Amino acid sequence: SNLGDREYNIRAAIRRIRLLMNTRVTKISKIIETPPEGGPPQGPYLNCVIEIQTTLSPYELLRRLQKIEGDLGRVRAVKNGPRCIDLDILLYDDARIEEESLCIPHPRMLERKFVMEPLEDIAPDLVKKLKIKKAIGKQKQRKNRRKAKKAKPSKRKKGSAG
């Protein structure tokens, strides 16, 4: 949240999430303040991560989180623009979903301090595991790039032997 009473907005969203059917808030991180990343000039954000247990599908959870955003006054006018509340699904068990409307795990979460710092507050072992997976992924990418370079045929000048 970076509009209005930012802390109230976060706490109001958490209260509404607690009211969702078959959903229980199990952990709440500390709230941190961070500068905006990208988008137009705007004020700093307050950020928080919560852990929930739910029987809602990822799609139904997303739909309900977007309803909470709307009920709290969220208007999607400018990409990465200021907002009173922004609710994202970072992870959902071990689900991997890559669609236009929903990406799990959240595609840029590992690069964002405003996600990782509060996540580490409530799930330090998970953050370590995610960082290790990221490092392994980078190693594999480097190895694949080296293999691809070696596999390319060299460019030799054509000429006549004689």
CA–CA dist 119, 25 (Å, integer): 14
Asked about 83 being catalytic, the answer comes back as yes
Please give the model's pTM, rounded to 2 decimal places.
0.80
CA–CA dist 29, 49 (Å, integer): 5
The answer to whether residues 29 and 90 touch, using CB atoms and an 8 Å cutoff, is no
Asked about 88 being catalytic, the answer comes back as yes
Find all residues with CB under 8 Å of 142, minimum gap 6, and list them.
Answer: none
* 95: helix, strand or coil: coil
Catalytic pick from 76, 88, 108, 145? Answer: 88
Catalytic pick from 6, 16, 64, 74? Answer: 74
Residue 106: closest CA among 130, 124, 122, 85: 130
Catalytic pick from 6, 16, 64, 83? Answer: 83
pLDDT tens for the chain, residues 1 to 162: 999 999 999 999 999 999 999 999 999 999 999 999 888 999 999 999 999 999 999 999 999 999 999 999 998 888 889 999 999 999 999 899 999 899 999 888 888 999 999 999 999 998 888 878 777 766 666 666 666 766 665 555 555 444
pLDDT in tens, 18-29: 999 999 999 999
